[in-house]
Amino acid sequence: MAKEIMLKYGCNPNQKPARIFMKNGGELPLQVLNGRPGYINFLDAFNSWQLVRELKQSTNLPAAASFKHVSPAGAAVGVELSETMKKVCFVDDLDLSPLAGAYAMARGADRMSSYGDFAALSDVCDKETALLLKREVSDGVIAPGYTDEALAILKQKRKGTYNVIQIDPEYRPEPVEHKDVYGITFEQGRNESVIDAGLLENIVTKNKDLPEAAKRDLLISLITLKYTQSNSVCYVKDGKTIGVGAGQQSRIHCTRLAGNKADVWLLRQHPKVMSLPFKAGIHRPDRDNTIDVYISDDFMDVLADGIWEQFFTVKPEPLTREEKKEWLAKQSGVALGSDAFFPFGDNIERAHRSGVSYIAQPGGSIRDDNVIETCDKYGIAMAFTGLRLFHH
């Protein structure tokens, strides 16, 4: 393994020189097996690797993440996909291993944001996962290893330039970390807090029922938040994130942003969306963009402009606001995590609209009583973890 890797440039082309190296002079705990990852690629790779590693430790299931600009667009563990979910994730034509299924769901959480992602895998990349990665628009992948067949497949992607990083799964960083900002060095202890079921024991609402599946989903949300740029809120359903709201200055804006993404994910399963009459040959990214427009309130304008003819064999019937509202009102069982306390009950009101039934948050607001009262209004079970998870 090398002691340093020189990079083409830093965050932007004007930021030179650029490299990654170990301050102690030791060897890097990774190998670049293909391609030439850049500065942001490595930031995504290292953050996403920590996320999937912790998800695997917490759930004992294969885990995958899809990262963009140092925050997860999606993350998931390897639970079995329903036929509906396979269609929503555009993988109903593939044989999926548990690891491939995890990546399909991680990418399916927010397919538009995952366009050009950096993928992370908790386990050795197998043939099935490599074939899925090969056909998606992606910048690279990090994993603890690759089968010979998987590596050969990935080396063919992007005319042989696809970035493939192998990380040493035994590597453990120093307990104190440093960061330079404006020529000034910051030092802090690493966030080594273990996120496990013990954090969910302080249930402060009237509803004390947290099924095992809900606990798993709450832990997924909290681990995801640990590696999401703050402020952040994360919605999870059936072992996968369905909405991540990263980097917002206001808690309610986090909840709204992530909730809107969760709504899109839920609406993608509406029968009208599932049966859209796409023309043959329309690529997956174009389908994603078109579905997003179809679900939005702008689709009537698209119909009026006649743009629909580019994508559909026949003019599709719109999904009305009333139909969307009715569909979302049927949803439940969504878990929500927050990296800091909710200051007002309006966050709970918004979460409820997206089917949230379970919440985990640190607690500690002077308005905790109002937040608890709002949860009780809707029968939501909420645990105070006592653990803040800011990440910057």
Residue 282 to residues 244, 312, 313, Cα–Cα distance (Å): 28, 9, 11
Which candidate in 69, 87, 127, 206 is catalytic?
69
Q: Which of 34, 41, 56, 68 is catalytic?
A: 68
Q: How far apart are CA 265 and CA 107, in angstroms?
A: 11
Strand 138-143 to 163-167 pairing: parallel
For residue 239, give the nearest of 75, 122, 354 by alpha carbon.
75
Question: Are the C-beta atoms of 167 and 189 separated by less than 8 Å?
Answer: no
Mutual orientation of helices 368-378 and 346-353 as an angle, nearest 10°? Answer: 30
68: annotated active-site residue:
yes
Catalytic choice (208, 283, 330, 392): 392
- Residue 181 makes CB contacts below 8 A (sequence gap 6+) with none
Given the residues 41, 47, 231, 347, the one annotated as active site = 231
Q: What's the start-to-end Cα distance of the chain, in Å?
A: 29
377 counts as catalytic: no
In 3D space, the residue among 164, 142, 144 whose CA is nearest the CA of residue 152 turns out to be: 164
CA 254 to chain centre: 14
CB distance 287 to 90 below 8 Å: yes
Tokens in use for 375? 């949860």
- Name every residue whose Cβ is closer than 8 Å to that of residue 243 and which is 6 or more positions away in sequence: 109, 110, 234, 235, 257, 258, 259, 260, 261, 262, 263, 265, 354
| 260 counts as catalytic | no
Active site residue 283: no
> What is the set of active-site residues?
68-69, 231, 392
